[in-house]
Structure 1
Amino acid sequence: MATRPSRKNAEAESVDPIDALLSAHGLRRTAAARTVLGWLLAHPDTSYTHAQLQMALSGEGTEADGAAVALDRVTLYRLIDRLTQVGLLLCRVDASRVRRYQAMPTSVHAIPHFECQSCHRDSPLAGALQANANDLERAAQSALAALQALGYQGMSMDFAVRGVCVDCATSAPDTAGVAA
């Protein structure tokens, strides 16, 4: 005779991973929170400004029953602030003082990225630094452990390299021979 799965097991199997993340971090599982976190987790290698995120989500905000999810500017600001405070999002401020948000994987202590000081493009460096990823991770864990020993809490690390990207460097006029 076949046994039916218990109701508790059926509920455990149907738990949405985004709902589980929100609950585990003490956040309400609202449609807006699911939409924002779901979008950022689906695009883990991209960081978004508030305006870029609002534009990207403008067509995404619907619940399972087709009802629209209100994601006005203030709601989105408050939501990304809460997601950042609990460590689900990484907030970086680039050279132009623009905030950019990206999903923060729980297993990662530092997300290396390059910020172009000319075009302000933000590019992940994880692939470029793959050979040194373990060294970077160990250094981040060591720094975070030292700060934690001093009493700091709820930390993440932002590893930013700033300069001029290849596209901007090759499109800039040659000024090497010009006297100032």
Structure 2
Amino acid sequence: MASVQPPVTPVLEGDNPIDALLSAHGLRRTAAARRVLGWLLAHPETSYTHAQLQESLAGDHAEPLDRVTLYRLIDRLTQVGLLLCRVDSQRVRRYQAMPASVHATPHFECQTCHRDSPLAGALHAVDLEKAAQTAIESLRALGYTDMHLDFAVRGVCADCATGTVPGGMANAGPAA
């Protein structure tokens, strides 16, 4: 009897985790896509406006991305679930790499440094998670589908309130 081997997925020479993510989500592995996703994955706790992201990418000494290309790329990355887009209290869109816990864990968004911190283990996050799950189940019973609940608490984090932001980030926002 011959043993049946599962099909081998070809790995392209030079593949890296960012290329693998882009390919797995049906996106082209362009230099711009690698750069944007790589930057956001390297700064997972910071959310960026379009302008902040464009400014940060311009500081990495590579060829600048024009704003339209960046808008389209952010939109594609968000549509496939690689980026999280949140609208802050001033109705400004902020983007960050999609945290694994975003669908279940309430989070705190600092209005000064824009770090996004899960509230798991803080306060009574378990109660908040149960409330979120109950809301989703109630909506599902009404026929809604493909939902996730974004429960955000917004304010100023302890580091910004005391002026001791970790990692050398300035209170004015991400410039790293």
* Residue pairs, 1:117-128, within 5 angstroms: 120-126=112-118
Q: Could you say if the C-alpha distance between residues 88 and 144 of structure 1 is closer, same or farther in structure 2, counting changes exceeding 3 Å?
A: farther
Helix, strand or coil: the match of 1:100? strand
Helix, strand or coil: the match of 2:91? coil
* Residue pairs, 1:9-158, within 5 angstroms: 11=11, 15-60=15-60, 62=62, 68=63, 70-106=64-100, 108-109=102-103, 110=105, 112-116=107-111, 120-126=112-118, 129-131=120-122, 136=128, 140=132, 143-144=135-136, 147=139, 150-153=143-146, 155-158=147-150
Q: Could you say if the C-alpha distance between residues 20 and 107 of structure 1 is closer, same or farther in structure 2, counting changes exceeding 3 Å?
A: farther
Question: What's the CA shift for 1:22?
Answer: 1.1
Q: Percent identity?
A: 65
Q: TM-score, normalised by structure 1?
A: 0.66
Select the structure of larger CA radius of gyration.
Answer: 1
Opposite residue 152 of structure 1, the aligned amino acid is: T
RCO greater where, 1 or 2, for CA within 8 Å and sep 6 or more? 2
Q: Distance in 1 between matches of 2:12 and 2:101?
A: 23
1:178 counterpart residue number: none
Helix, strand or coil: the match of 2:150? strand
Gaps of 5+ in 2: 1-7, 163-176
